[in-house]
Structure 1
């Protein structure tokens, strides 16, 4: 019997655009040898990829690379959302990279090419329908970042960070591939939907095999490295602090988004809830608690943001763990939990990018993030940048007027309560209060007087309210829009 594989080039258009951007960057850098032209091509390619992904997403669900009923590429509303966000993050990081590239310590062509390659992996990741496509896409997103972290000439810290990131990521990938191989040995398939059907129809029989439980645990553990979940988090603070600031921003946003999307795909569609539930719930509690406690002691800006992003990963994992523990009680509860995880991730990466953008603007060109003391009074010298930084911190803390961050945390708590995981909602609430200490401390430092006397908190509130008022109209409709798209 012959098998015919279908190919839908329209569904593959976003991947073509992203990969074409990488090729064009190489050609322009080779032929024109002008930094401005190279960066312009990379920026236009990222914008074109975002537009193409949105247009294909609006056209409805599309599938390709299908044999029988199993498809390796599924372009849905969620895949389009992931691709658009990845492309826009790439565009934003390119904009942040101006001072770094002008300093001359980073080769422009290689830098833009590697960013475009990472973008390609992120675009493919959201549409992956089997474990092989998922792992290849995740590694395509991650591999260029090893080089980007250590690309700055003459930086020992960058080289150390790159080696740390490389070693840990290789171990994580090996663990994931071992888990995928064992899953194939147990079920005879690597397609996510086929795996889900196998565990659904023969769940008790398969889970009686120790090999099945080990396989599921290995896949979850390997992907937990990518989101820097505790206890697989130790690489993140050192890597972020040693990398150039724009690269650290990309690691904290696009790379984190990729790990969450991969984990969400296997938990939602492939792996049994009886195994993933306890693991994800435990990881969520450990990640948010350890991240917040260690962030309280940080004196370096990037390390503080890195540990805060570890804590944020715990909030993202919480609804997934709660849903699995509840056994997915209803279709609405399942959809709400998955949508909450996606929505929280989208708003987190946007706020995190804004925070890193402010650090880049406040620090010297080609400099590192420095210490908290280096930012003392920065908002007095640069009111607009400092105000934007303070608003991003308030949003990450989940306080009004940071509408996006407040909505994201409310959405997560609501999903936990709907999944009958009130205890986990309480842990999230307590950790959110714990996180206020270092977010508000950094915000107060921005407005501290040169003589060391901190500014009155009322001034921070007034500045944040002023900026929030200007953004309220735009952000007012965004949360529900993201939830609707993520739920598809």
Structure 2
């Protein structure tokens, strides 16, 4: 008897709109050849994707591409959260990229098309129900970024960053595909839920060396995407060589995609007895190495890059306690990891927006000293950037970061991983040193030699207004949402669904 595959177009609506945004941006650029029209078309499509994700996710869970009980695409609360957040990040990056696109160095049509293609991968990723869909979605999110990183004409640093990112990412994809192939050889299935059921029922499969190798390869390949130690070395060089708006997207949407992919395979497919200890070790190394190296950084983007490596360790930490946790503690760990990722990417985008707003159009992040006293000359933007840094450090009034860290520590204690909770707390204290140093530098008076004139790295008055709007809006919105207590609980509910 033939098995008919079901297709639910409503569940696929956000993905349709995201892919349509890429086509629309390309056609508008081809037909009208106007930069503003292309940017508006891309922004409209991203906004429509955001609205569709919220609307579809508000209803019951929808499953499509199903054969029997096995579905390749499952759009529920978590998928809606991821899709909406990726669309929001794309909108933010478009706003940050306005001055970069106006100067003519970066082609507008190609930039908007590639950004929309990457957004499509992120939208699909949250709903992936099998390993093939998951890996294709991760690559759809990542592949356009190779070109975006090197898209700036005449920039050697940009070209070097693109090559570094490409080579490392290809190796990561190869490892992931090899691990998926070995898992299929062991279980005969690629659907995540079916994989988990088979490995849970067949304890003899867990004793096979092939299973351990397969799980390790999948975890290693996806760890590249979140820049987790020891697969992190590409991130600082790539972020620093990329245009600032692209670096912002890399450190937010790309990292979010890696986290979502890891969550999917760990929660549904991989045996926790193998995955848990590996992730605990990776999380411990990642947060420690990222924080210690960030202490020595003097370039702005490299500091943010190394701090994002440390933040990846905090995100992965709850997953390290899964092997010893009960069912309720495991659900809390999954929710805590995704909730931390959500608040991290919003604060990270605000931090990059602040740097973009305080630097000349098309410039790189420069050195930390280039932003000395910037908050005195631009109080609102400086305050927004300082708020984002304090939030990333996990201090009041940056309550989003504080809530995220408390959630992680609480999930670790609930999963009987007190040693990892203690390590998170110690690393959070180390992180205070460079976050607070950066924030204080914004309010430190400039050297007397520069008195009477703005530092060379400072943006002229009235410049880069979209970035200013982004950093202030994100800072205010995040503060209000966490203070009223609605956003944290909503994120936890969606992350745990």
**Are 1:293 and 2:257 an aligned pair?**
no
Q: Distance in 2 between matches of 1:105 and 1:150?
A: 12
Give the structure 2 partner of residue 212 of structure 1. Answer: 211
Give the structure 1 partner of residue 270 of structure 2. Answer: 271
**Are 1:483 and 2:489 an aligned pair?**
no
Give the structure 1 partner of residue 339 of structure 2. Answer: 343
Give the structure 1 partner of residue 481 of structure 2. Answer: 474
How high is the TM-score relative to the length of structure 2?
0.93
Give the structure 2 partner of residue 201 of structure 1. Answer: 201
Give the structure 2 partner of residue 63 of structure 1. Answer: 63
Q: How much does 1:474 deviate?
A: 3.2
In 1, are the aligned partners of 2:347 and 2:475 still within 8 Å (CA)?
Answer: no
Tell me the secondary structure at the aligned position of residue 9 of structure 1: coil
- 1:393-408 superposed matches below 5 A: 393-408=389-404
Q: Unaligned stretches of 5+ in structure 2?
A: 450-473
How high is the TM-score relative to the length of structure 1?
0.95
- 1:141-220 superposed matches below 5 A: 141-202=141-202, 204-220=203-219
**Are 1:90 and 2:97 an aligned pair?**
no
Q: How much does 1:407 deviate?
A: 0.3
Give the structure 2 partner of residue 282 of structure 1. Answer: 281
Q: Distance in 2 between matches of 1:217 and 1:134?
A: 17
Q: Distance in 2 between matches of 1:449 and 1:4?
A: 69
Aligned residues: 471
In 2, are the aligned partners of 1:401 and 1:468 still within 8 Å (CA)?
Answer: no
1:373-410 per-position Cα deviation (integer Å, ceiling 9, x unaligned): 10111111111111100000000000001010000000
Q: How much does 1:451 deviate?
A: 3.1
Q: Distance in 1 between matches of 2:136 and 2:476?
A: 43
In 1, are the aligned partners of 2:286 and 2:312 still within 8 Å (CA)?
Answer: yes
Q: Distance in 2 between matches of 1:89 and 1:468?
A: 14
Alpha carbons of 1:222 and 1:342: their partners in 2 closer, same or farther (altered >3 Å)?
Answer: same
Tell me the secondary structure at the aligned position of residue 65 of structure 2: strand
In 1, are the aligned partners of 2:384 and 2:475 still within 8 Å (CA)?
Answer: no
Q: Distance in 2 between matches of 1:468 and 1:18?
A: 27
Q: Unaligned stretches of 5+ in structure 1?
A: 454-466
Q: How much does 1:468 deviate?
A: 7.8
Alpha carbons of 1:469 and 1:192: their partners in 2 closer, same or farther (altered >3 Å)?
Answer: closer
Q: Distance in 1 between matches of 2:41 and 2:174?
A: 35
Q: Distance in 2 between matches of 1:312 and 1:342?
A: 12
**Are 1:118 and 2:125 an aligned pair?**
no
1:116-168 per-position Cα deviation (integer Å, ceiling 9, x unaligned): 00000000000000000000000000000000000000000000000000000
Give the structure 2 partner of residue 246 of structure 1. Answer: 245
Give the structure 2 partner of residue 233 of structure 1. Answer: 232
- 1:296-311 superposed matches below 5 A: 296-311=295-310
Q: How much does 1:478 deviate?
A: 1.1
- 1:362-373 superposed matches below 5 A: 362-373=358-369
Q: Distance in 1 between matches of 2:409 and 2:335?
A: 12
RMSD: 1.3
In 1, are the aligned partners of 2:173 and 2:221 still within 8 Å (CA)?
Answer: yes
Q: How much does 1:470 deviate?
A: 8.5
| Runs of 4 or more above 4 Å deviation | 467-472
Q: How much does 1:452 deviate?
A: 7.4
Q: How much does 1:480 deviate?
A: 1.1
**Are 1:28 and 2:24 an aligned pair?**
no
Give the structure 2 partner of residue 462 of structure 1. Answer: none
In 2, are the aligned partners of 1:395 and 1:401 still within 8 Å (CA)?
Answer: yes
Q: Distance in 2 between matches of 1:16 and 1:86?
A: 15
Q: Distance in 2 between matches of 1:238 and 1:381?
A: 30
Q: How much does 1:59 deviate?
A: 1.2
1:55-95 per-position Cα deviation (integer Å, ceiling 9, x unaligned): 00001100000001100000010000000000000000000
Give the structure 2 partner of residue 101 of structure 1. Answer: 101
Q: Distance in 2 between matches of 1:251 and 1:36?
A: 24
